[in-house]
Structure 1
Amino acid sequence: MDRAQKQEMVTTLNKVFNQAEVVVVTQNAGLTVAQVTELRRQMKAAGASFKVAKNRLVCLALEGTPYASLKSLFKGPTGIAYANDPVAAAKVAVEFAKKNEKFLVVGGAMGETVLNAEGVKALATLPSLDELRGKIIGLLNAPATKVAGVVQAPAGQLARLLNAYATKG
């Protein structure tokens, strides 16, 4: 990389760190190109991204962002997973780490809150934003469904009563 490409990479990463809701730092020593491609595909499907960059450039890009405290995690062959959904990147990274022993989750952060590897794993167990939205809609719809059932119940009972008298007589 020449100087201009490095500067462009630092600028791009700085934008990523300023916009992302969560950043997960991983170590990926020994992963094949096919495995990294599969990881990127899974990340994209979940609404997240995965990037491998030089540690020195990442540390420069971290300056002035909420994730500046992550600098100490960038040692050795590292990668970053990031997303606007606070759970997506962590979920995919943890699942991928379970299947590949060469891929380790080192830590991460949500804004200025630094997470160790266990914190990222705990974050991965939470439901995603889409799942939470579905649950909220279900909770909002449930009372309306119950009200409709209660309103229909007396009419149904009256209809059964009239039917019973009609078949009896």
Structure 2
Amino acid sequence: MAEREYPADKQSAIADLTERFSNSSAAVLTEYRGLTVEELQELRRSLGEGANYRVAKNTLAKRAANQAGVSGLDDLFTGPTAITFIEGDPVEAAKGLKAFAKAHEALVVKGGVMDGNVLTVEEITKLADLESREVLLAKLAGALQATAQKTAGVLAASASQVARLGAALQEKKAASGE
């Protein structure tokens, strides 16, 4: 089957979407039917840095995804579709989508892709329930610091115990007259 030839403006849109799919660590597809322009602006703000929310024609978005090597999304390109392209923290964007969808029933998360793996709605919800990268790194740093402090405490205690043992042995030796 020969590839369909698109006018220049649509070829440009496909090229832009292909680049976004290629440069994103994750993409989440949503249906936005019933949301006002103001609500869409509010949604864009709630996604955080590194996330870009784009309304796209299904045929163009499907072609762009395929050109970018993203597969498994074809069935999701139905109805009015918008794509959240995520270059930053996927957890932050997923949290923004989940919170917005809870407050605005018109937003429906369809699914997505992250690091080449297709995500179901349930998996996106689980991703939204994770703590952000910064929080996880802070917890890891705290755990490492606590471990280092405990190790230093054990080593310091061992050194003082050895010193006390040595002093006790010297006292015993002196007491026995040797």
TM range (shorter): 0.7 to 0.9
Q: Report the Cα offset of residue 78 of structure 1.
A: 1.1
Q: Which has the larger radius of gyration?
A: 2
Cα–Cα, structure 1 residues 66 and 136, in superposed 2: closer, same or farther, change >3 Å? farther
RMSD: 2.3
1:67 and 1:111 in contact (8 A); partners too: no
Identity of aligned residues (%): 40
**Counterpart Cα distance in 2 of 1:145 and 1:50:** 45
TM-score, normalization: structure 1? 0.79
Per the alignment, residue 139 of structure 2 pairs with 135
Deviations 1:55-107 (A, max 9, x none): 11101111133422112101111111121323232221111111101001111
Residues 147-158 of structure 1: matches in 2 within 5 Å?
147=151, 151=156
Q: Which one of the candidate residues 67, 70, 88 is aligned to 2:92?
A: 88
- List alignment gaps of at least 5 residues for structure 1: 156-169
Cα deviation for residue 141 of structure 1 reads 1.8
Corresponding residue to 2:55 among 48, 52, 56: 52
Q: Which 5+ residue runs of structure 2 have no aligned equivalent?
A: 1-5, 161-178
Q: Aligned pairs, how many?
A: 152
**Residue 147 of structure 1: CA displacement?**
4.8
The equivalent position to 1:73 in structure 2, one of 72, 76, 91, is 76
Q: Secondary structure at the match of 1:127?
A: coil
Match of 1:120 among 119, 124, 128: 124
Tell me the equivalent position of 2:170.
Answer: none
- From 35, 48, 72, the equivalent of 1:31 is 35
* Contact 2:113 2:119 survives alignment (8 Å): yes
